[in-house]
Structure 1
Amino acid sequence: MKNPLDTAALEAAVESVHRAGVPGLFAEVREGDLVWRGAAGVADLTTGRPVTAGMRHRVGSITKTFTAAAVLRQVEAGRIGLDAPVGRYLPALVPGARGDAITVRMLLNHTSGLAEYLPYAYPSLKAYPAIADTGPESMDDHRFTRFDPVELIAMGVSAPAFGSPGGTPGVYSNTNYLLLAQLLEHVTGASAERCITESVIERAGLRDTGFPSGPHVDGPHSRLYEAWFGMIDPPRDYSVFDMSWVGPSASLISTVSDLNDFYGLLSAGEIVGPSSLAEMRRTVPVVSQELRTIEYGLGLHPMEGPGQDAFWGHGGTVWGGGALAMTRADGGRRLAVAVNTQRWNRLDSSGVPRPHPIDEALAALYRVALYG
């Protein structure tokens, strides 16, 4: 029988991403009981220290799947109503008619209409998504800032709405998931991080996954090189950073192996029940932060491939780093990959990101990893 994991092709694909311009990346692919792990490049451009497939990594908005799963577990326990108004639980944070109109489901699938708080917390990003008019200065200004999540939420709630509650397409907004974190704290009496850890991370048996206790990543990890569309040249290391600016929306640290474990267990109905998993896979159109319209569920989004195999997972970025985890609907084929640079595309004269060889190299890696 032919090994469905083409290890030579996978190793070549990872190396191609490195040669295209990513300082270092690492990945794990599984097919049933077969596992391939690979890495290419360096974790530190100064010392030449290599990346390894077992490194811990900031996985950004992949955190949202964990947070959504924790919320669905509270729904299963009867403490949260999936279609209940958020104002029932958090009237001070989303007051009045908006609190009555926005449901928990709308927070989970980004159809609340609530604005993204990030451009208000980071003044140099005020012009986002007009990227050419932004600047990276706020990243340095707020490297060690300890943000109050309630203040961040207030920025998003008070900003002009992106649309009416429940309207589609929705607009991806971290404000939604900071509200979900407050919801978890309200109904459990524990911090959202503790709730997610106990009900999801520990339930899945993930040993190398957790929320940061400070600005550093514990354990072996890579530096993270942010380019901000060529405005930081050479790219700057932001691996030491206070992640309170995203909290339980995007601050999780994990490994590619733990991510594959998690999404496999989620697909098998072992993190949330089958009916909750079905809710997570009910999608609506949502405009992503890259201004593309994607299909988005409850902390999950799909990727369709040849033969219409559906893969479910999430991507994530932080300053200087990115990750993607995708698992076939039946849990059989899984991919998790991490890169140690971000926003490598320079802008053309009209402010639109130019194509970069990294883009096609990553797409090729995804194709061989997910579809062989």
Structure 2
Amino acid sequence: MKDAAPTARVTHRRRDHGAAQCVLDEAVREGGVPGILAQVRDGGGHWTGTAGVADTRTGRERGPEDRFRIGSITKTFTATVVLQLAAEGRLALTDPVERWLPGILTGKAAHDGTTTTVRQLLDHTSGIFNYTHDQSALRSQESCTPEELVAIAASHPADFPAGTGWAYSNTNYIVAGMIVERVTGRTLTDEIADRITRPLRLTGTSLPLATDPTLPSPHARHYTRLFSPDPDAPVHDATELDTTPYWAAGGMISTVGDLTRYFGALLGGQLLRPEQQRELLTMVQTQNWLPRSTYGCGVSRLLLPSGTAVWGMGGALFGSWSYVYGTRDGTHMLAVNINADWTEGRWQDPIGIFTDLLEAEFSYGCALGFALP
């Protein structure tokens, strides 16, 4: 594998990002990832750093305009649309799922659409089984409709009665996406484009149509070991991927620049009215998820080992792991992507790299009070 020279691009840099660049370099040199790309947006300017390659065959370096699959960061976009619809009075977060999707859950393996609310979908307190835990069912068909994904989940017992616990479930956001389409009569793809990506000029961000497995150019190749912990596991190219099993829960494409701009606008209160902004950031304690984390409506809060708190979301799909986190007011954001789903050396997985990168960029925050709830 060719080890491309690290690259840094700076526009109106307000503070030094040398420590962040060191983490990127080490991720390639010691962590064994093909390539890594990060952007910091802070004080009206931005810094972009890279290390490694976008394509191991050609040796092309990672670039700031690279598109990549963002996995569960898609959930934040879906939640934003739902919260905007709530602000418009077109739905209420207290609405039961049954109101919008009659019969999709009720009476099926202890799931109950009459008591499960829209809010519980968004903050993962619904108890609905996570369909991605049934890989045999997903592998049994070439592509999946949202209805089929929910049917997989509904064939399993609920994790707990709605509102009585917390469990991360991709099914929640498939159902939320279906509700968006039922309420609006339009596709979720169009709603995200009209409400978020076009107004913010996120030109590298989209929710692809079900029939499109490609990544727009420029993009990094996505390399996967199929989440095997074996360091000698074969590496597959997953750049072209059927994303129908992920859709509203994890099917989107973006860039680091678009992600820092979007989360800066969202956390900064530019996309939601005050009532919905409070809902976005009303957190519940997570269980068996990211350490020291809480979860709101498509947004999570992480407490870093240093005690610094950051707000944002992460996502992982075959061959692509991403994080975008920053200050609660969105004025200082960092987005990062690795075009692989493994690490070597001292890190167990890409989250370890991302944590070190966040510490390098935000650890001074304890003195500024960002660690406060």
Correspondence for 1:371 among 351, 358, 363: 363
Which residue matches 2:152? 155
Q: What is the CA-CA distance between 1:340 and the residue it aligns to? A: 0.7
SS in 1 for 2:125: coil
Equivalent residues of 2:150, 2:174 under 8 A apart:
yes
Which residue matches 2:196? 200
SS in 2 for 1:244: coil
Q: What is the CA-CA distance between 1:359 and the residue it aligns to? A: 5.5
SS in 2 for 1:194: helix
Measured in 2, the distance between the counterparts of 1:165 and 1:356 equals: 33
Q: What is the CA-CA distance between 1:307 and the residue it aligns to? A: 8.5
Equivalent residues of 1:301, 1:312 under 8 A apart:
yes
Which residue matches 1:250? 250
Equivalent residues of 1:204, 1:271 under 8 A apart:
no
Which residue matches 2:323? 324
Which residue matches 2:45? 34
Residue identity matched to 1:222: A
Distance 1:153 1:289, change over 3 A: farther
Q: Describe the superposition over 1:117-171 as per-residue Cα deviations: whole angstroms up to 9, x where unpaired.
A: 1133x2199xxxxxxxxxxxx5xx87xx221110111111221111110012x10
Which residue matches 1:167? 164
Could you list the structure 1 runs, at least 4 aligned residues long, displaced by more than 6 angstroms after superposition.
none
SS in 2 for 1:341: coil
Which residue matches 1:130? none
Equivalent residues of 1:23, 1:42 under 8 A apart:
yes
Correspondence for 2:132 among 100, 108, 118: 118
Q: Please list, as runs of the form range in 1=range in 2, the aligned pairs for 1:67-78 lying within 5 A after superposition.
A: 67-78=78-89
Higher relative contact order at CA 8 Å, sep ≥6: structure 1 or structure 2? 1
Distance 1:48 1:324, change over 3 A: same
Question: Is 1:182 matched up with 2:178?
Answer: yes
Measured in 1, the distance between the counterparts of 2:271 and 2:363 equals: 25
Distance 1:307 1:316, change over 3 A: closer
Q: What is the CA-CA distance between 1:62 and the residue it aligns to? A: 0.5
| Identical pairs, percent | 33
SS in 1 for 2:102: coil
Equivalent residues of 1:334, 1:370 under 8 A apart:
no
Residue identity matched to 1:151: E
Question: Is 1:90 matched up with 2:101?
Answer: yes
SS in 1 for 2:114: helix
Residue identity matched to 1:156: A
Residue identity matched to 1:146: S
Q: Which runs of 5 or more structure 2 residues have no equivalent in the other structure?
A: 1-12, 365-373
Which residue matches 1:133? none
Measured in 2, the distance between the counterparts of 1:104 and 1:61 equals: 18
Measured in 1, the distance between the counterparts of 2:350 and 2:171 equals: 30
More displaced stretch, 146-155 vs 94-103: 94-103
Q: TM-score, normalised by structure 2?
A: 0.86
SS in 2 for 1:18: helix
Question: Is 1:234 matched up with 2:234?
Answer: yes
Q: Please list, as runs of the form range in 1=range in 2, the aligned pairs for 1:12-31 lying within 5 A after superposition.
A: 12-19=22-29, 20-31=31-42
Q: What is the CA-CA distance between 1:34 and the residue it aligns to? A: 3.0
Number of positions where the alignment pairs a residue of Structure 1 with one of Structure 2 = 345
Measured in 2, the distance between the counterparts of 1:87 and 1:124 equals: 25
Equivalent residues of 1:287, 1:293 under 8 A apart:
no
Equivalent residues of 2:17, 2:361 under 8 A apart:
no
Q: What is the CA-CA distance between 1:333 and the residue it aligns to? A: 1.1
Q: Describe the superposition over 1:152-192 as per-residue Cα deviations: whole angstroms up to 9, x where unpaired.
A: 11111221111110012x10001000000110011000011
Measured in 1, the distance between the counterparts of 2:269 and 2:148 equals: 36
More displaced stretch, 359-368 vs 270-279: 359-368
Measured in 1, the distance between the counterparts of 2:351 and 2:279 equals: 32
RMSD of aligned Cα (Å) = 2.5
Structure richer in helix, relative to its length = 1
Q: Which runs of 5 or more structure 1 residues have no equivalent in the other structure?
A: 126-137, 347-353
Measured in 2, the distance between the counterparts of 1:364 and 1:30 equals: 18
Which residue matches 1:10? 20
Q: What is the CA-CA distance between 1:313 and the residue it aligns to? A: 0.6
Measured in 2, the distance between the counterparts of 1:100 and 1:59 equals: 32
Measured in 2, the distance between the counterparts of 1:212 and 1:116 equals: 22
Equivalent residues of 1:321, 1:342 under 8 A apart:
yes
Residue identity matched to 1:149: P
SS in 2 for 1:200: helix
Q: What is the CA-CA distance between 1:368 and the residue it aligns to? A: 1.2
Measured in 2, the distance between the counterparts of 1:357 and 1:79 equals: 41
Residue identity matched to 1:98: D
Measured in 2, the distance between the counterparts of 1:285 and 1:117 equals: 22
Q: What is the CA-CA distance between 1:37 and the residue it aligns to? A: 0.2
